[in-house]
Amino acid sequence: MVDHVVILAGGSGTRLWPASLRSRPKQFMDPGNGRTLIENTLRRAVATAAPGELLVVTHVDQVGALGRYAAVGRLEKSTVVLAEPQAKNTAPAVALAISYLCRGGAAAAADQTVLVLASDHVIAPENAFLGDVERADQLARQGRLVTFGIPPTRPETGYGYILAGEQIGPGRVVDGFKEKPDAITAQRYLDDGGYLWNSGMFVFRIGTMTDEMQRLVPEVIEPILELPWQEAAPEAAASADGVSSAGDSWAIAGTYLRLPNVSLDRAVMEKSGCAAVVEAGFRWNDVGSWDEMAKLHEEGLLNDGAAPEGAQGATAEVVLVEAEGNFVFSDLPVALCGVEDLCVVVRNGCVLVSRRGRTQLVKKAVDRLENRGRGDLV
């Protein structure tokens, strides 16, 4: 099994406004199963039984929220938080975690493996996920940079794709990464059968990833590897909620000013000859829009595959009168009369009404509110 788990929790999640706010972004939402997305992810990380570190890389403004909303204190494993002064995408975040894990010496850490998870994805069933992590770990220990590919169920234009090649052990060689396609291309990918959705989760050997980053993006990894760290995780400084912070915030801030904003996929995975993919046996959703949230409830993914009665979300009482195909996510009672295929969200004193299939427009609504000087609402 993997040695360490790193959770990336730096996103703002404005596509799920008004339930997700900049002060309490998507990962701190309860999607409807009684726990926040990041708490579900932390539990998943603990379930891997990784013997080493459990790290969360997040924005400095969100460190306090981890204790308040993630229920970290209920875990049986302490959590170390690495705070980023600004969001620079996933390559710097992963490099920061590698630097911390190498604090006792790069040679000592080189053969250890790391599982990188997003803080705000929904995955089920857990046993299938853990089995796939084990298979990915086998490949990683052979020098592969491994990602998880999700078998597509529809011609999705909102995800990137992976073209899987020849079989290598429990996975396949990556023959290419594809950007988010248009509808025609997405249908072709689905019909072809050789393409997988890119989940944005990884398993790698620390030495392999460090070597590839030094070869491909030295401007990211080299300054971060020079950061000063304590020799051991600061257990004595751990707060009652189970969270401890590590690192010299001034040194990290100064280093981050010089770093490019680049994803791990773009910086390393797309260019490396070591990339491999494990085809996922689990179901997955990145909860990237209200349309995706509705699918979660309709397909029962929040309940490990048990389909609920309709798609009402985490909501107060809903009254439907000649209304069909609607999704409601509200903390106030809602009545819908004579309408179809709407997404209605009432949270944090704000209301969103969108036609289903068009909820990606929420980002534009948030931008307009900010342009009007109403950043307090987002």
Q: Which tens digit of pLDDT belongs to each residue from 295-341?
A: 888 887 776 544 444 445 556 789 999 999 999 999 999 999 999 99
Q: What is the pLDDT of residues 70-88, one digit of tens each?
A: 666 567 678 899 999 999 9
The rounded distance, in Å, linking the Cα atoms of 364 and 362 is: 5
Closest CA to 286 of 123, 47, 69: 123
Distances (CA, A) of 345 to 81, 162, 301, 349, 353: 32, 33, 20, 10, 7
pLDDT on residue 165: 96
The rounded distance, in Å, linking the Cα atoms of 299 and 6 is: 28
Q: Considering the chain, tell me which residue range(s) the CATH 3.90.550.10 domain(s) occupy.
A: 4-286
pLDDT on residue 238: 47
The rounded distance, in Å, linking the Cα atoms of 35 and 125 is: 16
Q: Are 130 and 44 in contact (CB under 8 A)?
A: no
**Which residue ranges in the chain fall short of pLDDT 50?**
231-238, 240, 305-311
pLDDT on residue 252: 93
Q: Write down the pTM of the prediction.
A: 0.91
Tokens representing residue 309 in the block: 């009665």
Tokens representing residue 378 in the block: 């987002």
The rounded distance, in Å, linking the Cα atoms of 114 and 3 is: 6
Q: Which residues pair with 58 in a beta bridge?
A: 9, 83
4-286 CATH fold: Spore Coat Polysaccharide Biosynthesis Protein SpsA; Chain A (3.90.550)
Tell me how far the alpha carbon of residue 270 is from its chain's centroid.
19
Count of residues making up the chain? 378
pLDDT on residue 71: 64
